[in-house]
Structure formats: structure tokens, C-alpha cells
Structure 1
Amino acid sequence: MESSRRFSGYPRAQKGPETVYAPVADKNPALKGWSLIIAAKLVNYSQTIAQATWSNAKFGCVKDVPGLHEYDWRLQPIVTPLVPDGVVQSKAEITPELHERQSDDLAGRFHSAADYHELFKSGKLTPLQVAKGLLPLISRGQDPPAKYESAFAVTKEELVLAAAKKSTERYAAGQPLGVLDGVPIGVKDDMDVEGYTSHMGLKFNPSDPFFKPATSTIWPIAQLEAAGAIVVGKLVMHELGSDVNGCNPHWGTPVNWNNPSYYPGGSSSGGGSALSAGLVPIAIGTDAGGSIRIPSSFCGGYGLKPTLHRTHTMKSSICVIGPMAATANDLAIAYRIMSAPNPEDAIQGSFALSIPPSPLTKKTIGIYRDWFNQASKDVLNVTEKAISYFTDKLGYEVVDITIPYLLEGQYGHSAWALTEGLDHRRSHAVDPAHPLANVNYCNQLLLAVAGCTPAVDMIKFGQLRGLLMEHLAFLFKQHPDLLILTPTIPEAGWKIEPGDETYGFSDGNQTIRDMMYIWLANSTGCPAVSAPVGYVDAEVGEGKLPVGLMAMGEWGAEEQLLAWAKEAEGYLNDASEGGRYRPKEWADVVEIAKTTE
């Protein structure tokens, strides 16, 4: 049965051309140390070399796609679910099942918002105790350094303690604001939080007028704070969000506590690290090319990339703000609160609430086999077992699908993302004539190459986006409530190599491979969620490597994705081999807080 929901900007449902998915190895040189420094200087001083690098990265291949002139430009993939006639829009409800706590004897159990809420209500613990217990673990500037400080760029002790004190008083008076009241959360360092400076992963420059404390808090974070959540700090990120490994020479790379010999993923790297360590149950990230879902997958958590502009209208056609969480329930709680309609945001404020699926809804999984099977053998082994559980135990039907021009679409997305990044950097540079003066060598290289992108190629990218959106609309019409499943990342981890952090590094081949599946949701504006479904043994270091499975849905289908993530959590906890894995150095914040005064 076709969906009865109404949309603004919904693409026509038209099947795209039949194409073959046959990736060819990329030939981008891996650069670090002096080779990176020299390459960065060359592309900045020689337009010829920069153009050759741009062409070698295959950023110009989209213009060769035949028949693109027949498609409308989609320079912004805005598809808005509309509020039904006669319905008064309201906030999403935090329904009773989201208050349910997991069993105390569950293997690999992480603390959730519901755990904190119950402890606070019972008087066994207070938000102020939690804040006092957390701050010594995460605050920079201590001697010796705090054990978990790599995840946090800045903590404002006075702000954290003041908010925790007010929350403690509300519980004492029997008037908590809800399940998030007093719960610690972290926020990526590219979003404004009143009193905090947003560094975007850049080295702090006190003479830069853009490095100043925010005077107001961005809408999604303000909604979480209004629900009582306590921002305990700004989270470290990959500089400018320009890569997916999380390496940051200026701030230090956040630790992936599942196995510290591997990167946490980026660019919301601090969020992945903080969740894997158990420091917070919820972190808020941004995602322009997998930056929520990749660290969630690498670090064994849950991450939701919402529909474009669902939580906040960003100055981007690919980037969104969304939640990362240690449990599926907390992912849903954070999403429902932060997606409250903003009356001062004409685009975000017009979104109808996402609707949870009916128990009678037919469950359909779409798999493009040639694409899916590009993942490594160990990732395929884990994800295929999970899919068998969905079909055998939960009643999902698997249908084979195809999607055209995935190779060209990914290169187009990469060029688009870097071009947006260059524009943003120019807009925020002290000297717009030298916008790359304060960025690391990796970004000097990437953004200088992005400057070679012609305007006509951006138009062609927009036309290919239109083609892909029409084909997805065709699939969603053919199979209502379809979820397109892929591994989140084709590899289980990204090894840290000696010398990576000296200046950073650039490995375009690995970056492109790790973004193989996630870019499509960004380019088309669709929502997608990553959930851990198992683990593989690591080649180096101590600890297992999580494997994520990703579902992408129709525009506005966040609640359907959250319901699927909850089912995936049931598989991981109760049916997968060994259940959920908890890192050896996981911090039991509840027990630590109980020892504070």
C-alpha cells in the first residue's frame, strides 16, 4: 500500500537508467609527514598541480554521465513531510517504552538516560554528584592529564555545576523536567552552545574574531537543555569535518576505547570516543558525509542522520545535526526532543513529526547486492548474520534493488562536500584572500583542490542528485516503507599508523572506500541510521572492532529507522554471538559519582 503522507518537494517517482556497479581502484597517493607538507604547498601555489590532483581524484567524472540534461537541478535536496490538514503541530512525545531500563545482568550493558533518571528520582544519586564525578575524568589542563580528556575540547566547570545544581533541586522538589533531566551529554565542537567557543577542530587563535564564546545556543541543543540535559563539554572533531578517520594533530585524536590502536572515526570523533568510554549516554554530532554514522560504527554505538534540515536548517545541502547514543532508546529520546519544530525556522519548523510505523506495516529490506558485497569478508559475515535474523525472526522480506551511477554519485558528493567546506572557510577566515592560513596541511591540500571545481560541474552534480532522488522515489513507491540496508562502513576499523598525528595525514583511497555506503543519504537528503550488529577480531592492539549495519529510509522516516535500530539492538544483545562488547577501560560513571560528595 502506497504511503498517504504528503510532502513538499518530493521527487517524481521515475526509475533511473540501468548501470553496472564495478568500482575501479582509486589512485590518490597516501601522504603524511614531509610528503604531505610538500603536496599541500604545491597545490596551493600551482593551479596546474591542483587541477591535476582534482582530475586524478575523479571529481570531474559526473559531467560525463549521459542524459543528465533531462533532469532538474537539485542544488538542495529538500523534501519536507507536511503536517496533515487540521492537525496542530506539537512536540514528539517521549513515550513510556523509552523509559524502560535494560536488564542489569545484560552483557556489555551501558548506562542510559532511564538509568540516570531512576537513580535521580530515587535519591540514590544526584545530577550534581554525576557532574562532580565526570569533570575530573574529562577536563583538560590537569596534571597528570585526565584519562578521557581526548574526547572533549573544552568543559566549562562553572556552567556544568550550575546546571547540575538546578537539576538536583528539581528532583529534590519532585519536579524533574523528564527523563533527560540531569543526564550528561556532549556536543560536537562545531555547534554553538552559549558560553562556549566553537573551534571546528581548528587550532585556537586568540586574534581570530570568530573564536569567541557563543551568546546563544543552537535550537536542537537548546531543546535538549530545556529538557534538563546537561552539556558537560564540547567534543573534539576532525578539523573542519573534512575526513572520516578523526585524526586531529592540534587537539589530539580521541581514543576509540574498543581498541585504542584504531581511529574513532570522524568527523564527530569525540562523540564516538565519549560514548565508547561510557562517559555520556548521548552525544550530538553533525553529518555531511557520514560524520555521525562512521564514528558510531567504529565505536560501537548508535547514530542517526536525519532528513536534511529536520532538526535545524543548516547552510549546507548535505549536512545535518543528529544524535549519537549508547542505546537505541536514548537515540530516539534525543531525536524526538531535538527535532521539536522551531517557529522561527521556516524550513525546519514546517516539518511534520515523523510517525512510528504501525505493527501491521509490511517490513521490507532492499539490498543492492553488487554494492553490498564490496565490503570486506569479515564485515559481510557479521552483517549477513544480522540480516538473516531480521528475515527469519522479525518477518522482514528482502527484495533485490539496483541504484544507478553510485560511483559517479560518490565522487560528485565528495567534490560537493569539499567545495562547501572551502566556501565556509572563506566566510570565516580572518583574511578571505588567504582562507587556509590557519588550517592543517591536510585541509590546505583538500580545500585547495576543491577550489578547482567549476560551477558547471556543481550544476551537473545537482542533476545527478535529481536522478538519484527520482530513482529512490521510484523504489519507495514500488516498496512502501522500504529500508535500504548496507554495512555502515566496508571495513571494521582504520588502523593508526606511526607518525599519523605529527601533521595529520591524507589517504584519499581509504576515505573514499569508507564513505562507500554513507554518502547517498547525504547527497539525497534521506535519513539513515547505523546500529552495531557484531564484532570482529582486530589485527593489532587489544580489543574487538565493532561492525555497523546501516538502514536508509524515505524522507521523513526517522521513526521507522529508530524502530529498526531498536530491533537491531535486540539482535545484538540477545541473539548475536557473545552479545554486546563493552570496552575494558569503560568508565562506570554511576559508581564513580556515588563516591563524590
Structure 2
Amino acid sequence: MAKKFANHPGAKQAPAAALVYHHEEDSNPPLRGWPLVIASTLLSNSSALQKLIWNNAKFGQPKYAPGLDHNVPWRIKPDVIPLGETGPMLPLEEEYLITPKSADYKGRFTSIADYHELYKSGQATPLQVVEALLPLIRRDIGVKESKYAVAFIESNVEEVLQHAKESTERWKQGKQLGILDGVPFGVKADTEVKGYVSTMGMKVDKTVEYFNKPEEETCWPALKMQEQGAIMVGKMNQHEIGMDTTGCNPVTGTATNWYNTSYFPGGSSAGAGSALCAGLVPVAIGSDAGGSMRIPPAFCGVYGLKPTFNRTCSRSTSMCVIGPMTSTVADLTIAYRVMSQPNPSDPAQNLLSLSLPPSLSPSSTKKTLGICRPWIARADPEVLSVFNSCLDYLTTVKGYTAVDITLPYLREGQLAHAATCLSEAATEAFARNPSDYLKPLNHANRILVSAAAHTPATDYLSYGQIRHVIMAHLAWLWEQHPDMIVLTPTTPIAGWPICEGDEAYGCSDGNLSIKNMTFAWVANTSGCPAVSCPGGYVDAKQGEGRLPVGVMGMGEWGAEELLLSWAREMEGYLEVEGRMRPGGWVDVVGLAKGGVKE
């Protein structure tokens, strides 16, 4: 049966000139320490310098892309809607979802199923779990603050305890709401939760009206988790306003990469990546406009799903989506299914048809991986080694066929993506504080946002033309290879090393930022879903501890369950190779039972 979509771009192969991948080295000067402070101060007060930075970043280049002419329509949002049955939610009853892994499983992370078994057995209660967890994540206890707390920004402690007591009482009466009842989870600082200010990782300044307005409603994905009894234990730290991929935040503190503390955890969902790899929570809700729910999982050895555009909720953006990050694929599947239920009051989100796993999909075909070799070659050698090992396993053991593909505008499209994200960030900054839109921002983001404010409308529309060509070409590829998964590394680098001076004022390294998003941006520009999975580990160049390497699969609009099925096979590969837990991992269940110390 042919798939049906609304707002489909139409399947059209891109012009030959657009398919030639030409890499260019970027020339954005890296800044940190006092040079960053001085540059930020000068730029904040000079329109001419802001325009110079914009031009130096080559944000005007996409409109000259080969083969791009006035006949190409521009597309502002990648809002393709897979059509069909929209519900009910797929059940959470598959054996692998509800069964904990064996106690002697190597590299075992605590899962949703583990918490469920804990409560069912009576060995500990949700209240005991929360009481063990809060001292680790609270940021309001001064000198007693745990080394793990930097992954979070704020917890409404009394509310968290109340929800834990209610869950404990439900379990006591045998009226638990399901597998998520009593399971702790966190939400990124930029995502709405009632009663919390969505600080976006900015320094709270009460003279700015924005910081005096707690959210009146909880976003749909977090609300659905709470309705299942899951306990939102706190808002999670992030790279300020989501405008980079390191997680470095000199204002709220930089979350820790527990695999190697000399490396950043990745951004912008840095607190989520840190908390998941430390074992603090099994599920986190994040946002992703350029890899922010995939790069932190790649750097921190966990899993992240960037859903189809509008899948979990609608946002005032053309790039950003909300979705889950977890420690296991089973938990990613549970969280995704819960978060993506149709919202009757969201006219865009509630039209997306239910995503079906391959076993239930009437259109399921052979297992195909799309490989764009010149693009993948941009990855560092150690990353390529892990990627190639995973590809070999998938083709020789799991029955996938690898086909060579080409993708259009890989250089121009990435510049268009970056400029679009920054332009939307500048618009949001104006809305937050119209009288002085740069005031709430740190030095690095003042440079980025002030430059982005100079994006001409003509260039912004040319970015939409690039988007249309990419989407139409992807649609053409899926006509040729139904259900194909485009396979890449998640990021071409094995971790982002922390340099001296980064955490004092932040850092701005546009060249490495662009490189870090080499593979991630396509899913945001096209609106397609993508999953990042840990694929292996490599030696680090500094500090102690090996670094995880992520492998990413991108699917057609609505193909989340296909990707989750692929991720489960990737998880099997990691089990064979040997999953590693970081040295800083915490046994929250053991703490709740009173059997272990932090």
C-alpha cells in the first residue's frame, strides 16, 4: 500500500550540479576567555561588525547554490504529515519493553522496567527513589550541592515529593497507572513545565520581565509522561538558548561528561546527556534544532530520538522539535509512544498518523541502508572505524543491504540551516526582551545572535529553496528505496575537548560547531526523524576514560518505529561488543533500597 502524506514536497531528483559535494574549510575565529569578552562587547555595539561576522560565516552563500533558480519554490517549514490512523497509542506490552535485563548484564543501565519491578516487588517505593535522588540533583543546597547537580537547574522540591507520595500510595493500593508510574524523568530548561520559568540556560535576571513569568501549562510530551504517573524531578541544564553543541555554560555551570570529564557532554541538551549517562534518570525530554537530542547522547553513550517535525507538539520554529533521550532503546520506545499521542487541541500535531513498527507496517520492504560515502568521509578516522564496524554488522549479521546514495546541497544546506536557526533565535531574543534583546545572553551568544539579526529576507527565502530541493530529493530516494534508513555517524568527532578558559566566559568556535553538526542538520531541515545510538568507544586525546561514538539513522517522515526497530538491532551490536558504563555512574535504585552509598 502506498504511503500518503499531506504537505509532501513531491519526489524529484536534485539537479546534477546540486549533488556534487564540495567541502570548504570555515574561517570563523575561535574565541574564549578575555578575547571572547572583548569581541562580544565590540560586536554588541557595532552594526558594521555584526554584518562582517555574518558575511564571514558565509550565510549569504546559499542563494548562489548551483542549480538553484527562481523556479524553485521556497519552503518555510518541513511540515510533512504522514496520513492514516492517528491512534490509539501502540501498547507498551512487548516483552523487551517490560522485562529488566539480567543483573549480571555488562554495562547495565537502570531502565523503566527496573523501576517498575522495584515498586512491584516492594523493595523500594517511588518516594524512597525521589528521596535518594533529590540530594544528587538539587541546586539550592549551597555547599552541600552534589557533583551531579550541575546536570539540573531547578527542582520544585515540594511538588516532586508530593507526586512521589501520590505514586507510592497508588502502588500501595494496587492502583498504579502503568509501567511509568513512579519513574523519575527530567525536562530540558527550554521546554515548558507548569510552575517553572523556561530559563533556556540563561542567567536569571529579575529586572527582565520574562524571568518573572512561570509557565502556565506543561508541554504535551511532559504532560503525557506525568499522566502515566512518571515524576518530573527537575528542569535540566543546557547550552544557553540552545545555540551550540558543546553544552558549555559559564552561567549555570557546564554539565559533566562522566565518560571523560575533560570533554564536554554535548549540546544543547547537555544536562540530559550528563544525567542519563550518570544513571540519575532513565528518561529526559529535550529539544533538537540541529542535533541537540542526538549529539549529547552520542558524546554520553546513550540514545536520542529526534521525531518527525510536529510529531510530539507544534512549536513556533522551522527546525526545532521535542522528543526523548534515554539510556536504553526499550525506554526510548516507551517514552516516544507516550509523548507522541495525538493532542486534540494541536491541529498540526494531531494529524500525524500512528508510526508502525516493521512487523505491523503494510508497506514494509527489505532492510536498506543509504550510504553517502563522500559525506561520511568527513568523519575523523576513529569515528569512521566505529561506523564501519557497525555497518559491517548490520549488513552481514542483521540482513541489511547498503546502497550508495547522493544528497544535494550538503555544504549550502548546512550554512542555510545554521543561519535559519540563528535567525529564529534572534527573533525569540527580541520577543523575550524587546528593549535590550542581547542583555540576557552570555558573550558567545551575543556574537551569534547579533550577527543573525542581519539576515535579509531574500536570503532567508533562499534557505527555504534549499530546504525544498533537499526534501524533494529525499522523497525521490524513498521512492527508489522504500523504508531506507540513511546511515551516518551522529557527529564526525569523538567528543569535544574542554580547553582552558572555556568555562569562565564560554567559548565560540564556529568552525568546530559547523563540523560537529555535519550529519545532524539534514533531519532538522527536512523534518525527518532520526535516532542516535552508541556504536562503540575510542581512546581519548586528553583526560581519563574512553569516549563513546554515536551512529545515526534517519528515516522517512513518520518512520519513528522503523528507526526504533533499527536502534534495537544496534543495541544488540553494542551488547556483543560490550557496553561500558562511565566511572561516575550512580545506582539510584541501590540508594533507594539503602544498599549502596553515592
**What interval of TM-score do these two structures reach, taking the shorter chain for normalisation?**
over 0.9
Give the AA of the match of 2:14.
Answer: G
Q: For each residue in 1:136-191, what CA deviation from the matched residue of structure 2 results, as whole angstroms up to 9, or x when unmatched?
A: 11111322321211101001111111111111111111121111110000100011
Which residue is 1:184 aligned to? 184
Give the AA of the match of 1:94.
Answer: L
Give the AA of the match of 1:410.
Answer: Q
The answer to whether the 8 Å contact 1:68/1:460 transfers is no
Paired with 1:73 and 1:362, the residues of 2 have a C-alpha distance of: 34
Residue aligned with 2:2, SS: coil
The answer to whether the 8 Å contact 1:92/1:340 transfers is no
How much does 1:596 deviate?
A: 9.0
Paired with 1:395 and 1:555, the residues of 2 have a C-alpha distance of: 23
Give the AA of the match of 1:438.
Answer: P
Residue aligned with 1:233, SS: strand
Give the AA of the match of 1:198.
Answer: S
The answer to whether the 8 Å contact 1:282/1:334 transfers is yes
The answer to whether the 8 Å contact 1:132/1:596 transfers is no
Paired with 1:163 and 1:422, the residues of 2 have a C-alpha distance of: 37
Residue aligned with 1:68, SS: coil
Which structure 1 segments of 5+ residues have no match? none
The answer to whether the 8 Å contact 1:133/1:596 transfers is no
Which residue is 1:216 aligned to? 217
Paired with 1:11 and 1:435, the residues of 2 have a C-alpha distance of: 36
Residue aligned with 2:304, SS: strand
Paired with 2:9 and 2:518, the residues of 1 have a C-alpha distance of: 24
How much does 1:67 deviate?
A: 2.8
Which residue is 1:133 aligned to? 132
What percent of counterpart residues are identical? 52
Q: For each residue in 1:471-526, what CA deviation from the matched residue of structure 2 results, as whole angstroms up to 9, or x when unmatched?
A: 00000110000000000000110001111011111000000000000000001101
Give the AA of the match of 2:589.
Answer: V
Which residue is 2:311 aligned to? 310
The answer as to 2:4 corresponding to 1:6 is yes
Which residue is 1:449 aligned to? 451
Alignment of 1:155-194 (within 5 A): 155-194=155-194
How much does 1:358 deviate?
A: 2.7
- Alignment counterpart, residue 400 of structure 1, candidates 399, 404, 407: 404
Alignment of 1:276-287 (within 5 A): 276-287=277-288
Which residue is 1:146 aligned to? 146
Paired with 2:114 and 2:316, the residues of 1 have a C-alpha distance of: 37
Residue aligned with 2:355, SS: coil
The answer to whether the 8 Å contact 2:87/2:341 transfers is no
Which residue is 2:87 aligned to? 89
Residue aligned with 2:318, SS: coil
Paired with 1:95 and 1:68, the residues of 2 have a C-alpha distance of: 52
Give the AA of the match of 1:93.
Answer: P
Paired with 1:71 and 1:106, the residues of 2 have a C-alpha distance of: 54
Paired with 1:67 and 1:245, the residues of 2 have a C-alpha distance of: 33
Residue aligned with 2:144, SS: coil
The answer as to 2:375 corresponding to 1:371 is yes
Paired with 2:409 and 2:232, the residues of 1 have a C-alpha distance of: 42
Which structure 2 segments of 5+ residues have no match? none
The answer as to 2:52 corresponding to 1:48 is no
Paired with 2:509 and 2:309, the residues of 1 have a C-alpha distance of: 28
Which residue is 2:227 aligned to? 226
Alignment coverage as a number of residue pairs: 587
Q: For each residue in 1:319-351, what CA deviation from the matched residue of structure 2 results, as whole angstroms up to 9, or x when unmatched?
A: 000100000000010000010100000000111
Alignment of 1:119-518 (within 5 A): 119-142=118-141, 143-211=143-211, 212-358=213-359, 361-429=365-433, 432-518=434-520
How much does 1:69 deviate?
A: 1.9
The answer to whether the 8 Å contact 1:553/1:561 transfers is yes
How much does 1:361 deviate?
A: 3.1
Q: For each residue in 1:545-591, what CA deviation from the matched residue of structure 2 results, as whole angstroms up to 9, or x when unmatched?
A: 000000000001000111111110010012x2xx1110111000011
TM-score (norm 2): 0.96
Paired with 1:89 and 1:59, the residues of 2 have a C-alpha distance of: 42
Paired with 2:265 and 2:69, the residues of 1 have a C-alpha distance of: 38
TM-score (norm 1): 0.97
Paired with 2:136 and 2:192, the residues of 1 have a C-alpha distance of: 23
Q: For each residue in 1:58-97, what CA deviation from the matched residue of structure 2 results, as whole angstroms up to 9, or x when unmatched?
A: 111111013332222110110001125xxx7322321323
Residue aligned with 2:185, SS: strand
Paired with 1:179 and 1:145, the residues of 2 have a C-alpha distance of: 31
Give the AA of the match of 1:415.
Answer: A
Which residue is 2:561 aligned to? 559
Paired with 2:558 and 2:337, the residues of 1 have a C-alpha distance of: 13
The answer as to 2:526 corresponding to 1:527 is no
Q: For each residue in 1:397-446, what CA deviation from the matched residue of structure 2 results, as whole angstroms up to 9, or x when unmatched?
A: 000000011000000000000000000111111xx142001211111100
Residue aligned with 1:529, SS: strand
The answer to whether the 8 Å contact 1:44/1:448 transfers is yes
How much does 1:252 deviate?
A: 0.3
The answer as to 2:549 corresponding to 1:547 is yes
Which residue is 1:107 aligned to? 106
Give the AA of the match of 2:113.
Answer: A
Paired with 1:50 and 1:206, the residues of 2 have a C-alpha distance of: 28
Paired with 1:377 and 1:367, the residues of 2 have a C-alpha distance of: 17
Give the AA of the match of 1:467.
Answer: V
The answer to whether the 8 Å contact 2:246/2:265 transfers is yes
How much does 1:373 deviate?
A: 1.2
Give the AA of the match of 1:122.
Answer: S
How much does 1:36 deviate?
A: 1.1
Residue aligned with 1:533, SS: strand
Paired with 1:548 and 1:291, the residues of 2 have a C-alpha distance of: 13
Paired with 2:92 and 2:147, the residues of 1 have a C-alpha distance of: 34
CA RMSD of aligned residues (A): 1.3
Residue aligned with 1:395, SS: coil
Residue aligned with 2:70, SS: helix
Which residue is 2:585 aligned to? 586
The answer to whether the 8 Å contact 1:16/1:471 transfers is yes
Residue aligned with 1:5, SS: coil
Residue aligned with 1:354, SS: coil
Q: For each residue in 1:15-57, what CA deviation from the matched residue of structure 2 results, as whole angstroms up to 9, or x when unmatched?
A: 1022321312111000112211222223222222222211111
Give the AA of the match of 2:508.
Answer: S
Paired with 1:146 and 1:363, the residues of 2 have a C-alpha distance of: 46
Which residue is 1:75 aligned to? 76
Paired with 1:32 and 1:469, the residues of 2 have a C-alpha distance of: 37
The answer to whether the 8 Å contact 1:279/1:587 transfers is yes
The answer to whether the 8 Å contact 1:68/1:464 transfers is no
Q: For each residue in 1:237-284, what CA deviation from the matched residue of structure 2 results, as whole angstroms up to 9, or x when unmatched?
A: 110100000000111000010111100000000000000100000011
The answer to whether the 8 Å contact 1:277/1:586 transfers is yes
The answer to whether the 8 Å contact 2:135/2:145 transfers is no
Paired with 1:424 and 1:275, the residues of 2 have a C-alpha distance of: 29
Q: For each residue in 1:348-374, what CA deviation from the matched residue of structure 2 results, as whole angstroms up to 9, or x when unmatched?
A: 011111111138631000000000111
Which residue is 2:59 aligned to? 59
Paired with 1:195 and 1:369, the residues of 2 have a C-alpha distance of: 48
Paired with 1:301 and 1:68, the residues of 2 have a C-alpha distance of: 42
The answer to whether the 8 Å contact 1:83/1:89 transfers is no
